[in-house]
Chain A
Amino acid sequence: MSEYDVTSLVGGSVGRVEKRFATLAEPPHTLRLECGREIGPVTLAYETWGELSPEGDNCVLVCHALTGDSHAAGYYTSEDQKPGWWDIMIGPGKPIDTDRYFVVCSNVLGSCMGSTGPASIKPGTDEFWGMDFPIVTIGDMVEAQRLLLDNLGVKRLLSVVGGSVGGMQVLEWSVRYPERVASAIPLATTCEHSALAIAFNEVARQAIMADPAWNEGAYHGGPFPDYGLAVARMVGHVTYLSDEAMRRKFGRNLQDRCSLTYRFEPEFQVESYLRHQGRKFTERFDANTFLYLTKAADYFSLAQAWGGGSLTRAFSRAACRYLVASFTSDWLYPTYQSRAMVQAMKKNGLQVSFCEITADLGHDAFLLPSARLNSLITGFLTDTLARVREGGDAL
C-alpha cells in the first residue's frame, strides 16, 4: 500500500508469503451487520507469519489502514519489487518479531483486496454486489476478523495493532472483545472522525459519484470511473502528507519544464505527483469499495457505539493495556484526538502509555521507518508477553 521506498531499520525479511482466503459465516450461519442486514458466506483474505505458541498466547493481529490489504510483510514471488506495506515493522528481529509472535493480518470486510465487498460476486448470482452491498462498519470488520481468529484457533490476542483506520479497528477490538485482547496499539488514529476528516472523505466520494462512468455503481463491464477514483485518491493523498513534507518534497518546482505555460496542464511537480498517485491507484482499487470504506471510517464513533456518547464510558468496557502514539505533523488525526482517548483510558484506571512522536511527514508517518516507533513497540510487546506469561494478566 505504501508508495514510499523504505528500507528497514532492523531485522530481516519474513521472505515468501502466501495470501490465503478464509470462508466465514457459512450456512446455516450468517454475519449480522450493524446496519441490520445479514450476509454470508463471507470471504476474508489474510496472511500469517511466525508460529502460534502451544499456549496460544503470542498472536499479534495487524489491522491495515483504509485502502491497504492483508499483505503486511514479505514477498509473494522472488520477482516482487516491493514487500508488504509494513515490512519495516514485521519480521525476524523486527519490533513485531515473527520469531516470537504469531502475526496475522487480514484484509477487512468490504475491501476489494480479496475479501467480500462491493467488488465481489453476490452469492447465488453472477452479478457484482456493487451498491447493493450493505454498508459495513468498523465494528463489522472486527466481527469478521473475530470469526477468522476463531478459525485459526486464536482465543486471545497478545496485541492488536494498527494505524489510521487500522487504529480504529484496534480501538473497536479492545472495547468489543475486552476478554480477548491483552494489549492494544492504536497509532495515528482517532475515536471518531472530525468534521474535517468527514469533509475530505465526502469530497473524495463526490469525485467518484460525479464521474459519468460511475453509473450509480453499476460500472462492472466498464468503462470504469477511473477519473473520479483518481481524484478521490488525490484528495486523500493530500491529507496523508503535511505542509512541511510537501514543501520539502516538491516546493514550487516545475515538472519537465522551466517556465509556466499559461495553460491548464500539470506544471508543478506536486500536480504531476498527485496525478501519478491517482492513476496508479485506479490500477489496484475499486471505486465502490472506496465509497464503502470511507463511509465506515466516517461512521466510526467509539463513544456513540459503546458509551452512549461518552468516550470514558466506552472505555470502561476495556481491560487491556494500551500504547498510543501520534505524530506531530498529522493534521488528519491530530494529537489532541489521541490525547482524548488517553484521557478516557486514564479515567478508567487503564494502563496506558502515550508518546507524541516528532515527525514532519504527516499522517503517513506510521508507515515509515522510525527508530522511535520501533523502540516503543518492541518494548511494549516484549513487556506484555512477559506479563502474560507471568500471570496471564497484562495489566
Chain B
Amino acid sequence: MRFDLSVIAQWVEPGARVLDLGCGAGVLLDHLTREKGVRGTGVEIDEEKASAAIAKGLTVLHGDIFAEIADYPDQSFDYVILSQTLQQVYEPARLIGEMLRVGRRGIVSFPNFAVWYNRLMFLLLGRAPVSRELPYEWYDTPNIRVIPIKDFRRFCRKKGFAVRREVTITTHHHEEEGRVVTFLPNLRASYGIYMLERFAER
C-alpha cells in the first residue's frame, strides 16, 4: 500500500466506522476492512473504479462526493477520509465542513505544491511545475487547486477546523516507502496528511 495511505490507516482505530471519499478501487478501504475490521463505505465517481471496489466485496457508492455525503445523518462515521482529492474539489471548505458534520474526525491528505522541486522548476524554468505527485500539464490536469502546506494550515485556522494531527511526508507517488519530514515541511515534504476536528468539540 502507498506510504501516505499506510499513515492514514495507522490513525484509524479497529472497528471504526469509516467513510472514504474518492476511494478509487478501494485499496485503503480494503486494507482497513481486512486488517482493522472497520465498517467502511467508499464513494467513487468513476464507474470502473467503483465497480472494481464493489467486486472486492467492499461497500461503495458510485456517485459524486457532495451528493453522496449530503444523505448521511450527522455523526454517522468515526472517520471521513479525503485522500489526495482535495486538489480536485470545487468547494473545499464546504466539503470539509460536511466531512466534520457526518464524521467525528476528518482525515485529509494532499500533495504539497510548495515542495522545493516545484519551486525550483517555476523559478529556474519559469514553467508550471509538473512532478511525480502532480504529473499533469496545465491543459490536462484534473487538479483545479494548488495547495502548499503552509496555506492549508492557514485555511484550517481561518475556517475553524482544528488540526488534531499532522504528518508531513516525503515519498514517491505510488511507492510504499517514505519518511516523515519535520524540519521545514513546507519546503521539503511532498505530502501533507491532516486529522481534523470541529473547533466546537475541542
A interface, CB within 8 angstroms of B: 321, 323, 339, 342-343, 346-347, 349, 351-358, 372, 375-376, 378-380, 382-384, 386, 395
Whether a CB of chain A sits under 8 angstroms from the CB of B41 is: yes
Whether a CB of chain A sits under 8 angstroms from the CB of B115 is: no
The minimal Cβ–Cβ distance linking B124 to chain A, given in whole angstroms, is 45
Question: Which 4 A-B pairs rank lowest in CB-CB distance, beginning with the nearest?
Answer: A383-B57, A379-B55, A375-B55, A355-B62
The chain A residue with its CB closest to the CB of B68 is: A346
Q: Which residues of A contact B59 (CB under 8 A)?
A: 321, 351-353
Q: Which residues of A contact B58 (CB under 8 A)?
A: 353, 383
Number of A-B residue pairs with CB-CB distance less than 8 Å in the complex they form: 64
Partner of B54, one of A343, A347, A379: A379
Q: Which residues of B contact A354 (CB under 8 A)?
A: 60-63
Partner of A376, one of B41, B51, B72, B76: B51
Q: Which residues of A contact B39 (CB under 8 A)?
A: 351, 395
| Best-surrounded residue of A346, A353, A383 (most CB of chain B within 10 A) | A353
Whether a CB of chain A sits under 8 angstroms from the CB of B71 is: yes
Whether a CB of chain A sits under 8 angstroms from the CB of B8 is: no
The minimal Cβ–Cβ distance linking B149 to chain A, given in whole angstroms, is 34
Q: Which residues of A contact B55 (CB under 8 A)?
A: 375-376, 378-379
Q: How far is the CA of A375 from the CA of B47 in the complex (A)?
A: 13
Cβ of B47 and Cβ of A356 under 8 Å apart?
A: yes
Q: How far is the CA of A347 from the CA of B55 in the complex (A)?
A: 24
The minimal Cβ–Cβ distance linking B108 to chain A, given in whole angstroms, is 22
Cβ of A353 and Cβ of B73 under 8 Å apart?
A: no
Given A346-B72, A347-B71, A349-B76, A355–B57 Cβ distance below 8 Å? no
Whether a CB of chain A sits under 8 angstroms from the CB of B50 is: yes
The minimal Cβ–Cβ distance linking B23 to chain A, given in whole angstroms, is 11
Q: How far is the CA of A379 from the CA of B61 in the complex (A)?
A: 15
The chain B residue with its CB closest to the CB of A378 is: B55
Q: Which residues of A contact B60 (CB under 8 A)?
A: 353-355
Cβ of B51 and Cβ of A346 under 8 Å apart?
A: no
Known: A352-B59, A354-B61. 20 other contacts (CB 8 A): A323-B54, A342-B61, A346-B68, A346-B72, A347-B71, A349-B76, A352-B61, A353-B58, A353-B60, A354-B63, A355-B47, A356-B62, A358-B47, A372-B47, A375-B52, A379-B55, A379-B57, A380-B54, A382-B57, A383-B56
Cβ of B54 and Cβ of A355 under 8 Å apart?
A: yes
Q: How far is the CA of A395 from the CA of B54 in the complex (A)?
A: 15
Q: Which residues of B contact A379 (CB under 8 A)?
A: 54-57
The minimal Cβ–Cβ distance linking B129 to chain A, given in whole angstroms, is 35
Cβ of A353 and Cβ of B76 under 8 Å apart?
A: no
Cβ of A372 and Cβ of B51 under 8 Å apart?
A: yes
Q: Could you pull out 14 A-B pairs where Cβ atoms are within 8 angstroms?
A: A339-B63, A342-B61, A342-B71, A349-B76, A352-B61, A353-B59, A353-B61, A354-B60, A354-B61, A355-B47, A355-B60, A375-B51, A375-B52, A376-B51
Q: Which residues of A contact B63 (CB under 8 A)?
A: 339, 354, 356
| Best-surrounded residue of A352, A355, A384, A395 (most CB of chain B within 10 A) | A355
The minimal Cβ–Cβ distance linking B168 to chain A, given in whole angstroms, is 34
